[in-house]
Amino acid sequence: MSLVVQKYGGSSVASLDHLRRVAQHVATTARNGDKVLVTISAMGEQTDDLLNMALALSPKPPRRELDMLLTAGERISAALLAIALDDLAVPSLSLTGSQCGILTDETHGNARITQILGGRIRDNLAANRVVIVAGFQGVSTQTKEITTLGRGGSDLSAIALAAALEADACQLYKDVAGVYTCDPRSVADARLLPRLSWTAMTAIAWGGASVLHPRGAHLAAKFNLPFEIRSSLDLTRPGTRIHGSAALERPQTIALAHKRGMTLTTYRLTAADASSSLAQVLSWLWQRGEAPQVNQQVLQQDGSIDLTLVISSSLVSDLEMILDDITAPKPGHWQRLNERQGLATIAVVGQGYKQSPETAMTISQGLYGTLQFIDVSDQQILLGLSDEHLDHALKVLHRQLIEQMPAIN
Ligand code: ADP
Ligand code: ASP
Ligand code: MG
């Protein structure tokens, strides 16, 4: 008997009809003889709705209370799915992250999973119940408080649970058929990728493709856990399988991922303890769930540090307030040297870019006049350009680097 982990994202459970369809699929899997562990997201846009309610009451809601509020969304959909399964005569039980022992650190809003106990999950699976775990949440062992894993964190819950319970299959159901060569909402000719390596999936996710939480991709790679991204609209369609196969690892572009609404900013940190200010800045960004697309630190001869970041524009003013706080005992110990707002980034994900500089040259020529920066590493070329050029650039790059190349299989 196999253990199957299935994750249903917000768009897959957007309405009661969606939930009924999901319940049918879970019931079919359970009746086929598999043990089923479901991780579920809040219905549709409910997390955003809850967040907006909090922001209407206070511009800076306490982070502990935000976690109490936002985790309610997943708890509602988990209980509703259990009710729908009951109606189909399938025994099941819904659990919060805390009830099933998903232990985390104490970082509200972007907690890291430290351990999964999973005793109640194992017991209930052994008793032939479908177990439904509210996604995106855990509990801090230190503070005993409820925590969330960061926006989109149900992917992470599913992958962590599949790794901890040594599941035989891990399937993430989305409103797309799998992972495409580019966001199909941006490039209509994007192709479905039947297979991807963990490395490529991780780069695509960090590059901004919301189809998977980047920390989920990392975790799967760390535990050598194969998993699938599949369509919640056509539940039997195979989708994309992500595993360690090197089949795609030839010098070729696999996919494009992008982020809008970014700012490039350079700060000079001048205090004698500039490195401590730097650590505090990076830790603040992490707590907000922000992994800068560019994070370059150049030590100056006088000991100051020039820090260049490309981060979400929405964070810049709060970050500068934090810099004021950090350097408060020594006012003036940070300066903004440069700022460019309204940027977008594109991560061109593939392999072999160091040994084949043609790709970077093709990009520079194709986007001449629009590129603001380009950074080449072996498995990724990161591009910065103004937001208004993004859609055109994605189409040009997709045509040049993917459509005009042989299909990837
Ligand atoms: P979930 O409901 O599980 O949270 P998401 O909405 O986060 O799922 O992810 C699915 C969305 O990811 C799609 O609607 C699609 O627009 C977007 N997306 C971005 N890049 C890609 C890509 N390369 N392949 C597939 N989908 C992508
Ligand atoms: N509901 C949460 C969010 O919208 C978590 C998730 O969907 O994965 O971010
Ligand atoms: Mg998501």
Dump pLDDT digits (tens) for 214-228: 999 999 999 999 999
- At 228 the pLDDT is 97
Number of CB atoms found within 10 A of residue 33's CB: 8
For 113-138, write each residue's pLDDT tens digit: 999 999 999 999 999 999 999 999 99
Q: List, chain by chain if needed, residues with CB within 6 Å of any ligand 1 atom.
A: 9-12, 41, 152, 174-176, 179-180, 182-185, 209-211, 255
- At 409 the pLDDT is 47
Work out whether the CA dihedral 170, 80, 112, 289 comes out positive or negative: positive
Number of H helices, E strands in the chain: 11, 18
Please tell me the distance between residue 151's alpha carbon and the centre of ligand 3 in angstroms.
7
pTM: 0.90
Burial label for 251, CB within 10 Å (0-12, 13-18, 19+), is middle
C-alpha 286/C-alpha 10 separation (Å) is 24
Number of CB atoms found within 10 A of residue 184's CB: 15
Given a cut of 50, whether residue 249 has pLDDT beyond it is no
Q: Which residue has the tokens 């511009």?
A: 59
**Residue 405 pLDDT level (bands cut at 50, 70, 90):** confident
- At 356 the pLDDT is 77
Least confident among 64-73, 76-85, 352-361, 367-376: 352-361
For 9-22, write each residue's pLDDT tens digit: 999 999 999 999 99
52 Cβ contact list (under 8 Å, min separation 6): none
For 125-175, write each residue's pLDDT tens digit: 999 999 999 999 999 999 999 999 999 999 999 999 999 999 999 999 999
Number of CB atoms found within 10 A of residue 360's CB: 17
The phi-psi region of residue 218 (left if phi > 0; otherwise alpha if psi is between -120 and 50; otherwise beta) is alpha
Beta carbon of 152 within 6 Å of any ligand 2 atom: yes
Beta carbon of 292 within 6 Å of any ligand 2 atom: no
Number of CB atoms found within 10 A of residue 147's CB: 30
How would DSSP label each residue in 15-47?
SHHHHHHHHHHHHHHHHTT-EEEEEEPPSTTHH
- At 328 the pLDDT is 73
Work out whether the CA dihedral 175, 179, 180, 186 comes out positive or negative: positive
Mean pLDDT over residues 363-383, rounded? 92
Number of CB atoms found within 10 A of residue 70's CB: 23
Say what the alpha-carbon torsion angle 19, 21, 23, 24 is, to the nearest 10 degrees.
170
- At 270 the pLDDT is 86
Beta carbon of 73 within 6 Å of any ligand 2 atom: yes
C-alpha 137/C-alpha 67 separation (Å) is 8
Closest-lying ligand to the alpha carbon of 211? 1
Closest-lying ligand to the alpha carbon of 39? 2
Mean pLDDT over residues 297-309, rounded? 92
Q: Which residue has the tokens 């992994």?
A: 291
Number of CB atoms found within 10 A of residue 10's CB: 24
Given a cut of 70, whether residue 403 has pLDDT beyond it is yes
Closest-lying ligand to the alpha carbon of 136? 2
Given a cut of 60, whether residue 250 has pLDDT beyond it is no
Atom of ligand 1 nearest to the CA of 10: 2
Beta strand ranges found along 209-333 (DSSP E) = 227-231, 240-243, 253-269, 294-299, 305-312
Work out whether the CA dihedral 81, 216, 100, 145 comes out positive or negative: negative
For helices 16-31 and 63-87, the axis angle rounded to 10 degrees is: 60
Q: Which residues pair with 74 in a beta bridge?
A: none
Name all domains of the chain by residue range, CATH numbers in brackets.
3-175 (3.40.1160.10), 255-403 (3.30.2130.10)
Between vectors from CA 238 to CA 235 and to CA 244, what angle results, nearest 5°?
A: 135
Cβ–Cβ < 8 Å for 258, 347: yes
CA-proximal residue: ligand 2, atom 9 (nearest):
151
pLDDT averaged over every residue in the chain: 93
